[in-house]
Structure 1
């Protein structure tokens, strides 16, 4: 079966997916954006895409859980970037079944269609959460996988399904494993937007969960560059590859940095309802990105303390614009 060089992006309506769609269009690619069907006819964050992007990509409204729609969307595409997933950890505690349907069965639908249609490349999106609390640092791709939440367990299942198609059927699958991506458009369920939106809304006391866990934060531009490098490199087929900054910082120090950049002093109130169950909390994440450097030639542009500050400045600038801040409910705990 012959294909166009069209690229299908699932989850194109989300935080990372919308940025990735914009970047691909700007590079001149023919892009089909798979967005979640809804009766409001909204395309998620693609409704707010940049003026130079609007009208220059195709939209397919569907549901990753439906194999027929997934196959239909992929029929005229040669390459696939699969980002569609449920990612909120607290929501997975009370609604785990939908994580299995979306993350595992949804990925199976993508893999089966890619196999049947003979696509030339499929990049499947993993997460640093599959590693759980670091047993050693920095975390390389050989680190044990630990399902510490229903979300992370579903992503481990999806990753293994993807690898099984590579091993069983030689489906050209690559697995990208981004660490904690942040930037404009991110959901308020994540720590950095939670802090920025509460401070920007005038709160002097901000509600947070645990402050001691560490994270490896990656600015959205670096993550998008990682996806494109994975897509374009034949070295990535059959591989799991970390995309991370190789810089570790705890939540408390991250909050202090944000408050300093926003010229505000804040009082942090640690709220029990925002904390994960003790054994479910991922205490430490710190990425080894040497495999991405060796196989893809990828390195973070926003690295170390200065890189984080630079990325946070751009993120704060976007979130504090009234038209953007108004989209967030800073007074509610968003799971």
Structure 2
């Protein structure tokens, strides 16, 4: 899955633009243009020169904005960027229409190669967790540490609350859901998403809720919204069925980077019981268990996730110094 042999891999052009986005104060949004691919990248300028680089990758239906709180917590420790995967956030669909885990991983690899920022501290949530696991397995040269928040790694018995999301992969399911919910207001849609993703939706304040509603309305207006959701969900399901060397669990075992695993006790999409298997699969792992968190712990408890990452950063920096 490496793209190092491709002659255009480093031929990137950066275009700064507002995108019509409501960017969090202190953040900037720009587009990185690659052949057949354009990726919106969110940045929070580092507080000083020389900080280690980081890249954040969101989950299904999310965007780079999912990492804003954690980026703010770690602004004194990392030179951070967060990417909108192809078709999500402010990134348009890719020319090849590939929304598989491998397709998204290739997009991340191409971004890292074009920016020449690697190796980076790589973060992933949910779908993004599966994506960066694959990146770390096939391109260890690009990854300094790996932080996975509720990664979408295969489960034999998914929770019942996760089944509707998986059903998006079934042909026609998205169109049916769109018809069934056509009378739902953006406020109701947003509440449903928050209930699914947060351990306690009440942690979202009024301003945050209004911003989420506005973003949901914008994305529902995109002509490719449901197609991207359907194909990306199908990509997750397909990845769950792969065996052999392409199995996500087999690739997790190949990851060399020190890994921080974050699991929420109230996660309705990724079972908390998967924490034990993940801890065994990743050879150099440490676990942060947050009993009250849901699927997006970096949004609900950014201080706790940041504290655990700072410990990982201190540990790996000290190890590098001894070496």
**TM band (smaller chain):** 0.3 to 0.5
- TM-score, normalisation: structure 2: 0.32
- TM-score, normalisation: structure 1: 0.31
